[in-house]
């Protein structure tokens, strides 16, 4: 599933047996972009929706543009940045980053730096944090147990109970919908920089007054993040194609290779496309259910056990020139339904007209729950109430609104997920010509630059390279924030 495989003699890629890519999100179009550049291998992309870009697309409504939750572009991979610079060209802006988090009615800079976090506690709070941290260290020493299977344990070991409860517990549980004691420590290892209370103290002594978050920058396309997948898709030429409104509903195999992909045409008919190589960005659990013949029950059960976090994104169009100077505002309070909002015009001036603005509000939820099922009007009225009560907007600024329901926005690293994932991956590894790429196909929670990289490298493997796709997104030194960001 992950290594390079030379196409068998009988399976040479040709117009009758092309490379098939499932999904035209950023991972799928990156694969298509690389194959188009190679010029020789015919391919077809099947996308179930009527648009391309997946969750990386930018929506346009009148004079407004917005992402489905603001998407900054950030990478340490020069080859990925080069691709993005090439497709976006002169429209790629460098944006100064300003984000804050609302704690007890005060906005403090975000991502939280240890010094920042301690300072905002005041003298008494900081003293309590020190005592708690000392007690935790002593307790670990006496019990000899500092195992870190859960996120809760991971955070307690580094920060002590006081800091953990203030800065981690509420926001994390609101975001993921499960107690921190059921969230795997993998989440922290992958997404959070190796910070600790010790670092906080060192920071306080040696780097007085420095706040990295204020000097950080990121790249952002002038007309929204969607310019990246759009730019890649625009390079696709006949005979290669991207077909939208073409869900993949079946994946045929002979036990060793994927032999054909079944799609549903817009008039409801099933159509079979033979394929010699299959690059899939379909959620890994959904893919398992599409295999024909079906996998053993153990693999199907493993697929069912993988859980995702869903979202509703609500955009409020406001009769006000600007609400904040920030890109994102994080809201950990359990009393407020949303976790975060962003103001697109602070990312690029082209995202809203000069005299008006929009806020894009993120609700984390599960399909079918109260938030997911709320009417648009209900959600908009709740959001306006909360934003007005916290002093961000006036109630009568609301001009219009729209919502997007986003199933499977994030893979959930719930305790036990690793075994389920492993079972499923072990089963899928038998298919020599299957390459899983992207967030939900790999069940890897990271940022888009890695999904772009997966798409590019899966395409290169099809062409004969030998990249190990499993390593992508797991490189060390990548996690960089004190809480979830993307
Ligand atoms: C709120 C939010 C904020 C984010 N912020 C950032 C950020 O700041 N920076 C950053 O780098 N990343 C960010 N991300 C991550 C980014 O959106 C995703 O990483 C990226 O979109 C994943 O791309 P993908 O191609 O793997 O998946 P997707 O975007 O999900 O694309 C998969 C595509 O496959 C299609 N598909 C699924 N099933 C089928 C099927 N059966 N047949 C055919 N097609 C199918 C889907 O319709 C979709 O178009 C954010 C994500 C969210 C949710």
User: By the 8 A CB rule, do 151 and 191 touch?
Assistant: no
Region 346-374: what's the mean pLDDT?
98
Region 59-73: what's the mean pLDDT?
97
- Ligand 1 centre to CA of 406 (Å) is 10
Region 64-89: what's the mean pLDDT?
97
Q: pLDDT, tens digit, for every residue of 222-252?
A: 999 999 999 999 999 999 999 999 999 999 9
Q: pLDDT, tens digit, for every residue of 404-425?
A: 999 999 999 999 999 999 999 9
Res 41: pLDDT: 80
Single out the residue of 18, 43, 51 nearest to residue 244, CA to CA.
Answer: 51
Which of 84, 439, 456, 478 should be mutated for ligand 1, with most atoms under 8 A from CB? 439
Instruction: Name the pLDDT band for 368 (thresholds 50, 70, 90).
Output: very high
Buried-state track 337-372, b at ≥16 Cβ within 10 A, e below 16: bbbbbbbbbbbbebbbeeebbbbbbbbbbbeeeebb
> Nearest 5°: phi and psi at 427?
-65, -45
Res 6: pLDDT: 46
Task: Provide the 3-class DSSP secondary structure of residue 463.
Answer: coil
pLDDT surpasses 70 at 486: no
- Ligand 1 centre to CA of 262 (Å) is 22
Task: Provide the 3-class DSSP secondary structure of residue 43.
Answer: strand
Res 349: pLDDT: 97
Q: How many CB atoms lie within 10 A of CB 75?
A: 20
- Ligand 1 centre to CA of 117 (Å) is 32
- Ligand 1 centre to CA of 56 (Å) is 6
Cβ–ligand 1 distance for 285 under 6 Å, the answer no
Region 61-66: what's the mean pLDDT?
97
User: By the 8 A CB rule, do 221 and 88 touch?
Assistant: yes
Res 215: pLDDT: 44
Cβ–ligand 1 distance for 224 under 6 Å, the answer no
DSSP class of residue 481?
Answer: B
Which of 20, 55, 458 should be mutated for ligand 1, with most atoms under 8 A from CB? 55
Residues of the chain with pLDDT > 90: what percent? Answer: 71
Pairing of strands 308-318, 328-330: unpaired
- Ligand 1 centre to CA of 286 (Å) is 15
Cβ–ligand 1 distance for 71 under 6 Å, the answer yes
Res 175: pLDDT: 93
Instruction: Name the pLDDT band for 323 (thresholds 50, 70, 90).
Output: very high
> Nearest 5°: phi and psi at 413?
-85, 70
Residues of the chain with pLDDT > 70: what percent? Answer: 88
Region 26-40: what's the mean pLDDT?
93
Cβ–ligand 1 distance for 340 under 6 Å, the answer no
Give me the half-sphere count of Cα atoms (radius 13 Å) on the Cβ side of residue 165. 8
Question: Considering the entire predicted model, what is its pTM?
Answer: 0.92
Instruction: Name the pLDDT band for 204 (thresholds 50, 70, 90).
Output: low
pLDDT surpasses 50 at 4: no
Query: What are the tokens at 422?
Result: 């492993």
Residue pointed to by tokens 């013949």: 293
Closest C-alpha residue for ligand 1 atom 49: 54
Which residues have CB under 8 Å from 55's CB, separation 6+? 25, 68, 69, 406, 409, 439
Query: What are the tokens at 216?
Result: 């950080």
Instruction: Name the pLDDT band for 97 (thresholds 50, 70, 90).
Output: confident
Nearest-atom index, ligand 1, CA of 447: 11
- Ligand 1 centre to CA of 118 (Å) is 35
Res 194: pLDDT: 57
Residues 93, 88: Cα–Cα separation, whole Å? 10
Task: Provide the 3-class DSSP secondary structure of residue 419.
Answer: helix
Region 134-155: what's the mean pLDDT?
80
Residues 67, 60: Cα–Cα separation, whole Å? 9
Instruction: Name the pLDDT band for 157 (thresholds 50, 70, 90).
Output: confident
pLDDT surpasses 80 at 161: yes
Of the listed ranges 6-10, 66-70, 313-317, 457-461, the least confidently predicted one is: 6-10
Strands (E), 355-469: 357-365, 398-411, 434-436
Work out the mean pLDDT of the chain and round it to a whole number. Answer: 89
pLDDT surpasses 60 at 12: no
Instruction: Name the pLDDT band for 119 (thresholds 50, 70, 90).
Output: confident
Cβ–ligand 1 distance for 48 under 6 Å, the answer yes
- In the chain, CATH 3.50.50.60 sits at 9-57+76-88+224-306+413-471
Instruction: Name the pLDDT band for 106 (thresholds 50, 70, 90).
Output: confident
- Ligand 1 centre to CA of 447 (Å) is 10
Of the listed ranges 128-132, 366-370, 395-399, the least confidently predicted one is: 128-132
- Ligand 1 centre to CA of 71 (Å) is 11
Closest C-alpha residue for ligand 1 atom 7: 71
Of the listed ranges 80-84, 154-158, 315-319, the least confidently predicted one is: 154-158
Res 214: pLDDT: 36
Single out the residue of 69, 61, 67, 71 nearest to residue 402, CA to CA.
Answer: 61
Element (H, E) at 173: helix 170-176
Angle (nearest 5°) at CA 68 between 62 and 72? 105
Can you identify the CATH homologous superfamily of domain 9-57+76-88+224-306+413-471? FAD/NAD(P)-binding domain (3.50.50.60)
Query: What are the tokens at 19?
Result: 């490379």
């Amino acid at each position: 599933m992950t290594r390079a495989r030379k196409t068998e003699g009988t399976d040479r890629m040709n117009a009758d047996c092309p490379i098939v890519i499932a999904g035209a999100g950023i991972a799928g179009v990156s694969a298509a972009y690389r194959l188009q550049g190679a010029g020789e291998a015919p391919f077809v992309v099947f996308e179930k929706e009527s648009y391309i870009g997946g969750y990386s697309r930018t929506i346009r409504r009148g004079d407004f543009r917005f992402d489905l939750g603001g998407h900054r572009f950030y990478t340490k991979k020069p080859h990925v940045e080069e691709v993005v610079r090439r497709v976006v060209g002169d429209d790629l802006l460098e944006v100064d980053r300003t984000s804050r988090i609302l704690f007890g009615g005060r906005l403090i800079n975000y991502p939280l730096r240890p010094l920042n976090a301690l300072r905002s506690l005041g003298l008494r709070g900081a003293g309590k944090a020190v005592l708690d941290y000392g007690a935790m260290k002593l307790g670990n020493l006496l019990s000899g147990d500092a195992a870190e299977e859960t996120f809760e344990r991971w955070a307690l070991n580094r920060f002590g109970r006081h800091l953990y409860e203030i800065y981690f517990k509420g926001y994390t549980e609101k975001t993921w919908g499960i107690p921190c004691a059921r969230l795997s420590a993998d989440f922290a290892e992958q997404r959070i920089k190796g910070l600790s209370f010790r670092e906080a103290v060192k920071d306080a002594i040696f780097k007085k007054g420095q706040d990295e978050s204020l000097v950080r920058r990121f790249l952002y396309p002038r007309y929204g993040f969607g310019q990246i997948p759009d730019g890649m898709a625009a390079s696709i030429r006949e005979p290669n194609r991207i077909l939208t409104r073409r869900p993949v509903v079946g994946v045929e195999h002979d036990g060793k290779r994927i032999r054909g992909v079944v799609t549903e045409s817009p008039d409801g008919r099933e159509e079979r496309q033979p394929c010699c190589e299959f690059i899939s960005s379909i959620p890994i659990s959904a893919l398992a259910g599409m295999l024909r013949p079906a996998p053993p029950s153990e693999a199907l059960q493993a697929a069912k056990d993988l859980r995702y976090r869903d979202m509703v994104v609500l955009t409020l169009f406001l009769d006000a020139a600007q609400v904040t100077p920030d890109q994102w505002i994080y809201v950990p309070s359990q009393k407020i339904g949303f976790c975060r909002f962003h103001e697109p015009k602070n990312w690029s001036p082209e995202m809203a007209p000069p005299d008006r603005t929009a806020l894009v509000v993120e609700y984390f939820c599960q399909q079918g729950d109260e938030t997911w099922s709320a009417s648009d009007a209900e959600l908009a009225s709740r959001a306006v109430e909360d934003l007005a009560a916290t002093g961000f907007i006036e109630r009568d600024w609301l001009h219009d609104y729209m919502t997007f329901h986003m199933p499977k926005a994030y893979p959930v690293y719930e305790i036990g997920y690793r075994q389920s994932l492993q079972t499923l991956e072990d089963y899928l590894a038998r298919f020599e010509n299957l390459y899983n790429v992207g967030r939900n196909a790999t069940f890897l929670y990271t940022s888009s630059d890695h999904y772009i990289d997966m798409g590019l490298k899966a395409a290169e493997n099809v062409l004969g390279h030998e990249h190990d796709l499993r390593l992508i997104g797991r490189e060390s030194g990548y996690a960089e924030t004190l809480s979830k960001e993307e």
